[in-house]
Amino acid sequence: MAKFEYAPAPESRAIVSIKESYGLFIGGEFVPGLDGRAFKTISPATEEVLAEVTEAGPADVDRAVSAARKAYEHTWSQRPGKERAKYLFRIARIVQEKARELAVLESLDNGKPIRESRDVDIPLVAAHFFYYAGWADKLEYAGYGPAPGPLGVAGQVIPWNFPLLMLAWKIAPALACGNTVVLKPAETTPLTALAFAEICQQADLPPGVVNIVTGAGETGRALVEHPGIDKVAFTGSTEVGKQIARACAPSRKKVTLELGGKAANVMFEDAPVDQAVEGIVNGIFFNQGHVCCAGSRLLVQESVYDEVLASLRRRLATLRLGDPLDKNTDVGAINSAAQLARIRELSEAGEAEGAQRWSPPCELPVKGFWFPPTVFTGVSQAHRIAREEIFGPVLSVLTFRTPAEAVEKANNTPYGLSAGVWTEKGSLILWMASRLRAGVVWANTFNKFDPASPFGGYKESGYGREGGRHGLEAYLDV
């Protein structure tokens, strides 16, 4: 099937005004860092410098934690839930009003297609604030006792794949429960968190309730190890999650970890092929595969293998890779040079270990960080590409004959974040779902999110749940 030629349809970037440099957001205002250090954030699609951002040192983190403590003790924890809810509703509405601007900013800083930031990320950010605003005055009915109280100050560290959405997952439930927060966005995608700081000002949120400190791993470490915080919420790699768990073990801090994944997307022979292929594509090529719950291992029943592979290849040939701001783009840029190097390294390991690599014909832009949609066949369970998280647009295909074999292979991973099942038989869906060791099991769909639905992992994918009523528990003293 040939690709239609479309004229370029770029979303205008004139709607965002990016400052040349940004300070830290502490105590309700932007302040310079104490030691004057800064780093640059770039557009991964063009390598253009977007802004200079302050690198917070330990003394800055200390200031932010003090501001959050003060706001917790004197203001936020004293406000009744219905008052806190008003601020969260206000934030949700401002996010909706600024949706276009936030979507363009996210696509510029992250490299994801505007269709995804516009239709998925930003609407879900607003939905999260609306959802938790609704809980703020009903916490006594959440099933955690008659008068559940907040924990105190939360230190929150997030990754770069869904920058503003991960912020919403962290901040909305924390504030609804009466906690104050210090949040550190990822070093490659700080801009929407800083735009969110401006939204907090616009919403008149009391100073110190939300503090944003920018920086890399060292800033994150200073935050999670700070003795003045009561709760650590981390989303990122399993490796860093383990370090954080070790660092917090001797303290009284409550910890939740949302880590990596290597999800199986299991396709049975009775599944409608075209619908399942759409789900497979969405499962691994959405957001360039920078998705912790991505369906990166396709398990396809042997009897339909040839048909599915042919259909998948046909579909991949129609994906458009390129300018993230173009409304027709399906696959955007890889978020950083470091992530591109990791994807390349693992893909080369796949070939070296004997798997067959295939990508559709696809022209990569000269500037920026790009990787074509890639499928590996002939993959065995021992291959690194079947075991390690690639966090890129790379699918490993394996086969199975019986449902029992599918379960065995799907669970043969140190991770357990998500899984997908494609079949027309409801009984088989339930049989599989009760055996798959994954926090989320999608049936005849993939990568579906809703603020009311809890999300989280088993095994090395972490512990604790975000979203839904379950997500409140992480921020309540229960």
Q: What single letter denotes the amino acid at residue 18?
A: I
* Rounded distance between C-alpha atoms, residue 11 and residue 131, angstroms: 29
What residues numbered 356-395 form the site for ligand NAD, per CB under 6 A?
A: 389, 391
- The count of residues in the chain is 478
Our CB check for ligand NAD shows the closer of 160 and 370 to be 160
Our CB check for ligand NAD shows the closer of 219 and 399 to be 219
User: 10 Å Cβ neighbour count for 232?
Assistant: 23
**In the complex, least distance from residue 140 CB atom to ligand NAD, rounded to whole angstroms:** 28
Point out the residue whose Cβ comes nearest to ligand NAD. 220
**In the complex, least distance from residue 236 CB atom to ligand NAD, rounded to whole angstroms:** 3
The pair phi, psi for residue 30, each rounded to 5°, is -85, 125
User: Do 296 and 395 touch, CB atoms closer than 8 A?
Assistant: yes
Our CB check for ligand NAD shows the closer of 187 and 326 to be 187
Residue 75 within binding range of ligand NAD, rule CB under 6 A? no
Residue 181 within binding range of ligand NAD, rule CB under 6 A? no
Three-state DSSP at 371 gives: coil
Our CB check for ligand NAD shows the closer of 340 and 428 to be 340
Residue 118 within binding range of ligand NAD, rule CB under 6 A? no
Residue 184 within binding range of ligand NAD, rule CB under 6 A? yes
**In the complex, least distance from residue 415 CB atom to ligand NAD, rounded to whole angstroms:** 9
- By CB under 6 A, which span of 22-30, 204-212, 351-359, 457-465 interacts with ligand NAD? 457-465
- CA atoms in the 13 A half-sphere facing the CB of 180: 31
> According to CB under 6 A, which one of 71, 229, 292, 397 is a site residue for ligand NAD?
292
**In the complex, least distance from residue 292 CB atom to ligand NAD, rounded to whole angstroms:** 3
Our CB check for ligand NAD shows the closer of 87 and 132 to be 132
Q: What separation in angstroms does the CA of 304 have from each of 20, 200, 242, 396?
A: 54, 52, 40, 16
**In the complex, least distance from residue 473 CB atom to ligand NAD, rounded to whole angstroms:** 16
* Rounded distance between C-alpha atoms, residue 423 and residue 444, angstroms: 7
Residue 160 within binding range of ligand NAD, rule CB under 6 A? yes
| Neighbour-count burial for 350-389, b at 16+ CB within 10 Å, e otherwise | beebebeebbbebeeeeebbbbbbbbbbebeeebbbbebb
**In the complex, least distance from residue 44 CB atom to ligand NAD, rounded to whole angstroms:** 13
Our CB check for ligand NAD shows the closer of 400 and 415 to be 415
* Rounded distance between C-alpha atoms, residue 135 and residue 175, angstroms: 10
| Neighbour-count burial for 111-135, b at 16+ CB within 10 Å, e otherwise | bbbbbbbbebbbbbbbbbbbbbbeb
**In the complex, least distance from residue 197 CB atom to ligand NAD, rounded to whole angstroms:** 16
**In the complex, least distance from residue 447 CB atom to ligand NAD, rounded to whole angstroms:** 12
> According to CB under 6 A, which one of 417, 428, 438, 440 is a site residue for ligand NAD?
417
Please work out the total of residues on this chain that contact ligand NAD, with binding judged by CB under 6 A. Answer: 30
At 293, list the tokens. 């719950």
**In the complex, least distance from residue 258 CB atom to ligand NAD, rounded to whole angstroms:** 3
Q: What separation in angstroms does the CA of 253 have from each of 179, 246, 310, 319, 477?
A: 14, 12, 51, 46, 11
List the catalytic residues: 258, 292
Residue with tokens 């997307």: 265
Site string for ligand NAD, 389-408 (x = CB under 6 A): x-x-----------------
For β-strands 180-184 and 21-22, DSSP reports them as unpaired
- Per DSSP, the residues of 56-72 read --HHHHHHHHHHHHHHH
Residue 330 within binding range of ligand NAD, rule CB under 6 A? no
- Taken in order 25, 31, 34, 37, is the CA torsion positive or negative? positive
CB-based contacts of 190: which residues, under 8 Å, 6+ apart? 22, 41, 53, 109, 163, 214
> According to CB under 6 A, which one of 90, 221, 254, 465 is a site residue for ligand NAD?
221
Residue 224 within binding range of ligand NAD, rule CB under 6 A? yes
> According to CB under 6 A, which one of 41, 107, 156, 161 is a site residue for ligand NAD?
161
What residues numbered 201-220 form the site for ligand NAD, per CB under 6 A?
A: 216-217, 220
Which neighbouring-strand residues pair with 26? 29
What residues numbered 229-288 form the site for ligand NAD, per CB under 6 A?
A: 235-237, 240, 243-244, 258-261
DSSP, res 24 = E
- By CB under 6 A, which span of 39-47, 48-56, 198-206, 456-464 interacts with ligand NAD? 456-464
Residue 159 within binding range of ligand NAD, rule CB under 6 A? yes
Residue 439 within binding range of ligand NAD, rule CB under 6 A? no
Exposed, middle or buried by CB within 10 Å (0-12, 13-18, 19+), for 74?
exposed
Q: Which residues are at the interface with ligand NAD (CB under 6 A)?
A: 157-161, 184, 186-187, 216-217, 220-221, 224, 235-237, 240, 243-244, 258-261, 292, 389, 391, 417, 457, 461-462
